[in-house]
Structure 1
Amino acid sequence: MGLTFQLIPALFYLLTCTGDVVQGQRRICQPCVREIIHTANLLIGKKFPCCEMEVPDIFEDTENSSTPQLLPKESSCSQLVMTTNDFETLCRAVTVLQQVSNSCSVPKINNMNRNLMHLVNQTTCPVNQTKITKLQDFLSKLKDINLKIFQKAQF
């Protein structure tokens, strides 16, 4: 009887920790994805400085891209961005937003860039500069990708 009584706290602790390990990475990363979506919604819904700025369109033909394939570095959020295509897109978005923040000082874009860097754990990725889009369209597509990632994180 004494051995069983001593095992109860240990078993309870193991069950609690296992749940935290499985859900922990999602809990850490979900706020970043949620903030990216929220910020994109705010910026898409109104005119802001640089909204008409032209940026590389990283969302077109990512499968047939001439840039080298990128693989995610291990990060606390790598579980959310598991597909190589999503990772490449988000990594290239970091590069584009860094270029935008150098030309245009909008604090919300800097916050979005910080959250993206947290997701991909990289700061620069090669960007194909041949196709161009407006910054507002870029943010709309970035929001859609993050919505897809957020929906995956809910499971």
Structure 2
Amino acid sequence: MSILARVLLPFLALLACQGDVVSPWTHTLRTNMLRESIRRLHQLQHTQVSCNEMNVTDIFADSKHGDTMELLCKAATVAREGWSCHRHLEGIYTNLLGLLRGHRLEHQAPCPVAAGSTTSLRSFLKELHQVLQEKYKNQK
């Protein structure tokens, strides 16, 4: 059997089985995405760059009662807007989209963010770090 057939067959089988079922492999992948995002956010918080004070939409302003997945979808939008400043935000954006995979918001991601109150990029990164740490702690 050729190498192409060995790779293509499992790939096609995985595509056929897509759905809302979370397999152990998917859980491990999401856990790794969370850990990697938390690590990158920690690094970003300790990196001094001029755009740390740039204004971004404050998606955390009234998120206390909101849906965590919707919050992560909006965070992906803000991360995408800021990745010209911090190259690591591109990886965080990609990981946030991966965390949304299989969720109803996946088709909208990144979610639209309404203009409203703003915060600094530094504050956004700190809040997102806390949200991801909480999500990681709750999934164990």
TM-score by length of 1: 0.66
Q: How does 1:31-110 map to 2 (within 5 A)?
A: 31-62=32-63, 85-101=67-83, 104-110=84-90
Q: By how many angstroms is 1:124 displaced?
A: 2.2
Residue of structure 1 equivalent to 2:110 = 124
Q: Deviations over 1:63-115 (max 9, x none)?
A: 68xxxxxxxxxxxxxxxxxxx610110000011111112xx242211111110
Q: By how many angstroms is 1:45 displaced?
A: 1.5
| 2:131 is equivalent to residue 142 of structure 1 | no
> Residues 50 and 142 (structure 1 numbering): CA distance in 2 closer, same or farther, change over 3 Å?
same
* Structure 1: runs of 5+ lacking an equivalent: 1-20, 65-83
Distance 2:131 2:89 in 1: 17
Identity of aligned residues (%): 27
Distance 1:149 1:23 in 2: 17
SS at match of 2:49: coil
SS at match of 1:50: helix
Task: Give the total of aligned pairs.
Answer: 113
Moved over 6 A (4+): none
| CA-atom RMSD in angstroms | 1.9
Instruction: Kindly provide the amino acid, as one letter, of the partner of residue 54 in structure 2.
Output: M
Of the two, which has the highest radius of gyration?
1
